[in-house]
Structure 1
Amino acid sequence: MDNIRAYGAGMAGGAFDRSAFMKKPTVIFRFIALISGIILWAAISNGGWHEPASGGQSVCLYGNSSSACSFGSAMGFFAVAAAILLLIVDGRFEKISAIQTRKRVVVMDLAVSAIFAVVFLITFFMLLSKYNSLELDEPYKGSLAKAGIFFALISLAAWGGAAFFAWRRYEEGALTAFAPSYEQEFAPGIGGSDYGYDNSGTGVVVDSYQNAPFTAINTQGSPVDVKHLHQGY
């Protein structure tokens, strides 16, 4: 019974295990995406622009395109916001008892992660090509602009990894959705005249299976100790 899981997590009802939570692949990728988004945001906002020595309007180091600087900075900001939101969802995921709700959360996670991965793929190549096309007649500091390109690539890998494990959770699905509840599986036999070789019906359960919430109470009488369930993705 310790292997009963739904969408990459064990049964609801156990205490939050911070150590196990921090070891989840999705959480690790989420933190990488969070840190990369912060650095990307700060690098482009602070170092993506060049102030000409002669004065005048600032020049975006990404091909003198102000839209490229604005887009890269915005991507860092939205990536940070999305990573924080999904980390909160990850922390509360195992408290969700309804399998259909878990499915919707996993689908949302997969969609958001995949979209960010695709957009960061576009962002990386856009920033790289724009930076290489820049032509300035005076020296400039491009270290932060280059850092923005690098962390756009890191963000691509982080969101791609998060999307992969979200897909793994979705594929795993609710394997227990059609399984009997604990009470039904371990219930004592109920006699019935229509069952049994000797018409005694001993040891036969005649109650129909019902869909039960995906929960377990960690008590002395519970057949499963939720503290020992695998934490999943």
Structure 2
Amino acid sequence: MDGFQAYGAGKAGGAFDPLTFLRQPQTVVGVLCWLFSIVILGCVANEGYVNRPNEVEEFCIFNRNQIACNYAVSMGTLCFLCCTTFLALDVYFPQISGVKDRKKAVMADIGVSALWSLVWFVGFCFLANQWQVSKEDDNPLNEGADAARATILFCFFSVFTWGGLTLLSLERLKRVSFEEEYNKLFSPPLA
């Protein structure tokens, strides 16, 4: 069975094809996750802090709750680094020769993707709540309102993109589990 692959990759040692890599659904969704994390981080870091004319210190636009801005900046940064790491792992994945190592990589991808989906759901709920209870008196010029809305929106989108990555990784795991069973049943014994 030359057409079978181990955990969604061909035989180890093959040449890297960037077009094939970029056309994979997992790569496309991973790049979307990466871009969404940049948008979230950029919106909060650039326009998430405002100050009133009579105040010296800046405050978080989300109900003056510093924790909300810190959460968005921290999760945006960690998500960016995580996306970069897993995109690099996807590039390196066909070079991994051991089936057990590939299985570990797929299992890690499933766990991390599911965790990030949960983290962004919590972030969406938290930031939307803090934005909803923000007082108009704290920001009379409505500075950064578009950035706050964009942050909330991209947190919402991130829930689904990370959930999609989880489903794609689960599909990869199912496909390979079937291939392993097929190979066990129908491969000729080694002499």
TM-score normalised over the length of structure 2 = 0.90
In the alignment, the residues of structure 1 paired with residue 10 and residue 181 of structure 2 have an alpha-carbon distance, to the nearest angstrom, of 13
Question: Does the residue aligned with 1:179 lie in a helix, a strand or coil?
Answer: helix
Question: Does the residue aligned with 2:62 lie in a helix, a strand or coil?
Answer: coil
In the alignment, the residues of structure 2 paired with residue 91 and residue 164 of structure 1 have an alpha-carbon distance, to the nearest angstrom, of 19
Question: Does the residue aligned with 1:13 lie in a helix, a strand or coil?
Answer: coil
2:155 to 145, 148, 152: 152
Match in the other structure for 1:94:
94
CA RMSD of superposed structures (Å): 1.8
In the alignment, the residues of structure 1 paired with residue 117 and residue 162 of structure 2 have an alpha-carbon distance, to the nearest angstrom, of 5
How far does the alpha carbon of each residue in 1:122-173 deviate from its partner, in whole angstroms, 9 at most, with x for none? 1011111110110032222211111111111122222111111011111223
Match in the other structure for 1:139:
141
- For 1:68-79, what aligned pairs fall within 5 Å after superposition? 68-79=68-79
Match in the other structure for 1:168:
171
Q: CA deviation at 1:99?
A: 0.5
Asked if structure 2 preserves the Cα contact closer than 8 Å seen for 1:36 and 1:155, the reply is yes
In the alignment, the residues of structure 2 paired with residue 29 and residue 2 of structure 1 have an alpha-carbon distance, to the nearest angstrom, of 28
Structure 2 unaligned regions, length at least 5: none
Match in the other structure for 2:190:
209
TM-score normalised over the length of structure 1 = 0.74
Match in the other structure for 1:228:
none
Match in the other structure for 2:129:
129
Asked if structure 2 preserves the Cα contact closer than 8 Å seen for 1:99 and 1:177, the reply is no
Q: Which runs of 4+ in 1 moved over 6 A?
A: none
Question: Does the residue aligned with 2:136 lie in a helix, a strand or coil?
Answer: coil
Distance of aligned partners of 1:35 and 1:64 in 2 relative to their CA distance in 1, 3 Å threshold: same
Instruction: Find out whether 1:12 has 2:12 as its counterpart.
Output: yes
Q: CA deviation at 1:52?
A: 0.6
Match in the other structure for 2:183:
179
Q: How many residue pairs get matched?
A: 185
In the alignment, the residues of structure 2 paired with residue 157 and residue 103 of structure 1 have an alpha-carbon distance, to the nearest angstrom, of 24
Match in the other structure for 1:23:
23
Instruction: Find out whether 1:35 has 2:35 as its counterpart.
Output: yes
- Higher helix proportion (structure 1 or 2): 2
Q: CA deviation at 1:2?
A: 4.3
In the alignment, the residues of structure 1 paired with residue 158 and residue 28 of structure 2 have an alpha-carbon distance, to the nearest angstrom, of 13
Match in the other structure for 1:194:
none
Q: CA deviation at 1:178?
A: 6.8
Q: CA deviation at 1:177?
A: 6.5
In the alignment, the residues of structure 1 paired with residue 190 and residue 180 of structure 2 have an alpha-carbon distance, to the nearest angstrom, of 13
Question: Does the residue aligned with 1:176 lie in a helix, a strand or coil?
Answer: helix
Structure 1 unaligned regions, length at least 5: 186-207, 211-233
For residue 154 of structure 1, what is the amino acid of its counterpart?
F
